[in-house]
Structure 1
Amino acid sequence: MMQGVERRRRVTVRTPERAGEYEIEVEAGALARVGERVRAVVGPYSRRAVVISNERVWGLYGARLSESLRLGGFEVYRWLMGEGERHKTLRTAERALEFLCEARFERSDVIIGFGGGVVGDLAGFVAALYLRGLAFVQVPTTLLAQIDASVGGKTGVNMRAGKNLVGAFYQPRAVIIDPETLRTLPQRELTAGWCEAIKHGAVGDRRLFDATRALLMSGEPLGETELLADLIAAHCAFKANIVAGDEREEMTRTDHLSRRILNFGHTIGHALEAATDYRRFRHGEAVGYGMLAAGEISARLGLLDRGELDELRAAIKLAGRLPRAKDLDFERILQALRLDKKSFGGSIKWVLLERIGRARIVDGQEVDRSLLEAALQAALKD
């Protein structure tokens, strides 16, 4: 490849329960091509596109996206939601659905999720509900959304009892990723995304873990444009492979291709978010702590070598500083854990590590209260 010439990376997602397939495209400057790509996947009869986003993302990139969509022949509408997990609710979804009804959107029209994981989850959920399913395209703008949340068709909203308890599996027609949008992200959003990247490698691909760590060790990962785009595509390919084998996260599966291995760090991470009313942590930050705790549990059960746990801890530290957590009440965290949506037969199924690159699903009976409390104390002490 000639120096300075950027290239487009494509990852194909195949899902067993949906006819056909769709593509994830990763390319610097891809925002200018969104209209062209959306037109290609929704066909010639689609007239209108509604962009679901938030004020921050729209203020930075809304004009650029709108122009691209207009060049693609779409009449552009926008609907903006609040920032953060606390806005990912049924009430917010209801307001978005009322907007679509009042604007008389039709089945030939398209919804575009333009933002981070919160926006993408809610936009996909609304797309799944309105007229029993409207075409949906993901244009993720955060690192976490680009490598994880936009891939695989999980949509949903939070309830008071817990995170993502209401939702649907609804695959997009396409995912269009422009790594240039990462340059305007606050550091905490980048930290959240890097934690999810570390998770991918930790549960299923040692080489992906090492590549992610190496880019972080460079000191300026966003400055390595081509390496960054390659890594984003590699993470998308990793998750696409998991989704292809287990689209709907079958609860009885425990093999290494089960989609459930992607929940490493999420059981405790979701509990930390719920215990702080979704106000203290970015999702990936909570997952960072969740991985530290799950790694500690793995080591204390004799599954994971302490040296590999130290590698995991060092990689998470490279991702960035996590918010304080040592003041959190254990009982409140425990209460949130009991409401985990991934419990099976009344028991939490823990995703633990045998080694970096290999996960194991363990029955909750093996993780008693004293072990959980000790692991949390070790993870949250910094």
Structure 2
Amino acid sequence: MIKITVSASKKYDVIMEQNALNKAAELLSQAEIKSDRKLCIITDKTVNSFYGKESGILWQNLSQAGFRLYKYVFEGGESNKTMSTVTAILDYLADNKFSRSDALIALGGGIVGDVTGFSAASFLRGIDYIQIPTTLLATVDSSVGGKTGVNLKAGKNLAGAFWQPSLVIFDPQVLQSLPQHMILDGIAETIKAGFINDKTIIDEAENNISIGDNRFLTQLAAKAVEVKRKVVEEDERDNGSRQLLNFGHTLAHAIEKCSNYRISHGHAVAKGMAIVSAAADEMAWTSVPCAGKILEILKKFNFPLDCPYSPSQLTEAALQDKKIRGNKITLVIPESIGKCRLKTIATDDLEEFITCGMDALKGM
């Protein structure tokens, strides 16, 4: 078992253990979530068919421990990561007389986790929730750190709240149900964490690209979560160093929006990291060239790095990003392998920056 303790506004553990779904009640008890509570499992239709059924190991384990279980299932996908989904969940909780002593379980990927977390933060001004991520991406990214939210028409994650979970449970066996492209989504985020603050992640990813090895993926995930833990504990509210976790994300969110979310988050992050690192090298903003190493690793995992959108299209989408403050935007720039820094530029210079990166990639 791997246990990582996050000491933010709420202290909680991230548990990574094979067959953890079959001992969820025990793990909840250790986190002081007692079996006299109501629990509402919130999930999407795809994940429900794998892990949310009443006959499944998670439901059976919790119900046998005495928890009173409810379930809310919604359609998956970014198009349903909306306020209307949150409102429907809140109505369901109210109709079933949930109280502040009860809790929610986010069972699924990042969309389920974000929606559930925002619902938990909103219902009765805040109730407990547990993250049980079923994708590698959610495990290393959205399940830890307390950022919750939904999309608005103008852009991604523009409505939300900081609300830390009470526990995070990752069972590596869930990776067996994921297609390769979804594993790659998570690997992109672990590579991001490595370039931010842990060169050993880069070394391990470089020397072992076996995406079918659950032990290897769990070790990478634990290292990535450890990077996130350090940053979240230092800057929980995202006013300073936590912005380092956005390496590649300003452009990734723009790419996702331009594609109407047909390009997945992890694949968009890979493209975003490539463009940003190429531009940073070209503009001599790095201590040592970084783009070559980033491209080398991403190509080893066969990430498609071409971007089908123009700098002007990406700029227009990026200028609606929540990270913009006034006429400034803060970018995350790789300074060396395993170290990034923040650099604020004028929004008027963003298109030039993106153009520089995309042009540089053509010659690499």
User: Does the alignment pair 1:167 with 2:167?
Assistant: no
- CA 1:45–1:30: 2 relative to 1, 3 Å: closer
> Distance between the aligned counterparts of 2:42 and 2:35, measured in 1?
21
Does the CA-based 8 Å contact 1:289-1:380 persist in structure 2? no
SS at structure 2 position matched to 1:149: coil
Instruction: Report the alpha carbon displacement of residue 212 of structure 1 after superposing the two structures with TM.
Output: 2.8
SS at structure 1 position matched to 2:328: coil
> Distance between the aligned counterparts of 1:143 and 1:283, measured in 2?
12
User: Which residue, 62, 82, 89 being the options, matches 1:96?
Assistant: 89
> Distance between the aligned counterparts of 2:217 and 2:211, measured in 1?
7
Instruction: Report the alpha carbon displacement of residue 377 of structure 1 after superposing the two structures with TM.
Output: 4.7
Does the CA-based 8 Å contact 1:32-1:65 persist in structure 2? yes
Does the CA-based 8 Å contact 1:325-1:381 persist in structure 2? no
- CA 1:73–1:318: 2 relative to 1, 3 Å: farther
User: Which residue, 208, 230, 245 being the options, matches 1:241?
Assistant: 230
Which letter maps to 1:55?
K
User: Which residue, 114, 123, 127 being the options, matches 2:107?
Assistant: 114
Which letter maps to 1:233?
A
- 1:3 matched residue in structure 2: none
The Cα offsets for residues 185-214 of structure 1, whole Å up to 9 and x where unpaired, read as 111111111111110001111112212332
Q: Percent identity?
A: 34
User: Which residue, 315, 335, 341 being the options, matches 2:316?
Assistant: 335
Does the CA-based 8 Å contact 1:26-1:232 persist in structure 2? no
> Distance between the aligned counterparts of 2:363 and 2:254, measured in 1?
17
The Cα offsets for residues 320-349 of structure 1, whole Å up to 9 and x where unpaired, read as 3338632x2443321111111111232111
- TM-score scaled by structure 2? 0.93
User: Does the alignment pair 1:312 with 2:291?
Assistant: no
User: Does the alignment pair 1:263 with 2:246?
Assistant: yes
Does the CA-based 8 Å contact 2:196-2:340 persist in structure 1? yes
SS at structure 1 position matched to 2:5: strand
Does the CA-based 8 Å contact 2:281-2:290 persist in structure 1? no
- 1:34 matched residue in structure 2: 24
The Cα offsets for residues 62-100 of structure 1, whole Å up to 9 and x where unpaired, read as 222111211231122111122222211111111111111
Instruction: Report the alpha carbon displacement of residue 302 of structure 1 after superposing the two structures with TM.
Output: 0.6
Does the CA-based 8 Å contact 1:116-1:144 persist in structure 2? yes
Instruction: Report the alpha carbon displacement of residue 305 of structure 1 after superposing the two structures with TM.
Output: 6.7
- TM-score scaled by structure 1? 0.89
- 1:5 matched residue in structure 2: none
Which letter maps to 1:176?
I
User: Does the alignment pair 1:273 with 2:256?
Assistant: yes
Does the CA-based 8 Å contact 1:36-1:68 persist in structure 2? no
User: Which residue, 58, 67, 71 being the options, matches 2:60?
Assistant: 67
- CA 1:67–1:322: 2 relative to 1, 3 Å: farther
- 1:322 matched residue in structure 2: 304
- 1:4 matched residue in structure 2: none
**Runs of 4 or more above 4 Å deviation:** 377-382
CA RMSD across the alignment: 2.0
The Cα offsets for residues 32-51 of structure 1, whole Å up to 9 and x where unpaired, read as 01122223324436431111
Which letter maps to 1:365?
A
Within 5 Å, which residues of 2 pair with 1:200-239?
200-216=193-209, 220-223=210-213, 225-239=214-228
- More moved, 298-307 vs 120-129: 298-307
Instruction: Report the alpha carbon displacement of residue 112 of structure 1 after superposing the two structures with TM.
Output: 0.3
Which letter maps to 1:213?
E
Does the CA-based 8 Å contact 2:279-2:360 persist in structure 1? no
Does the CA-based 8 Å contact 1:46-1:108 persist in structure 2? no
The Cα offsets for residues 193-249 of structure 1, whole Å up to 9 and x where unpaired, read as 111111000111111221233232xxx3332x4333332222211111111111111
Does the CA-based 8 Å contact 1:113-1:139 persist in structure 2? yes
> Distance between the aligned counterparts of 2:313 and 2:350, measured in 1?
16
> Distance between the aligned counterparts of 1:159 and 1:202, measured in 2?
30
Which letter maps to 2:17?
E
Which letter maps to 2:244?
I
Gaps in structure 1 of 5+ consecutive residues? 1-7
User: Which residue, 13, 16, 19 being the options, matches 1:23?
Assistant: 13
SS at structure 2 position matched to 1:176: strand
Does the CA-based 8 Å contact 1:142-1:189 persist in structure 2? yes
> Distance between the aligned counterparts of 2:13 and 2:355, measured in 1?
43
Which letter maps to 1:337?
A
User: Which residue, 321, 330, 337 being the options, matches 1:349?
Assistant: 330
SS at structure 2 position matched to 1:364: strand
> Distance between the aligned counterparts of 1:91 and 1:100, measured in 2?
14
- 2:265 matched residue in structure 1: 283
User: Which residue, 150, 153, 173 being the options, matches 2:146?
Assistant: 153
Does the CA-based 8 Å contact 1:49-1:109 persist in structure 2? yes
Within 5 Å, which residues of 2 pair with 1:177-196?
177-196=170-189
SS at structure 2 position matched to 1:234: helix
The Cα offsets for residues 295-314 of structure 1, whole Å up to 9 and x where unpaired, read as 01111111237753111011
- CA 1:51–1:368: 2 relative to 1, 3 Å: closer
> Distance between the aligned counterparts of 1:118 and 1:242, measured in 2?
22
- 2:274 matched residue in structure 1: 292
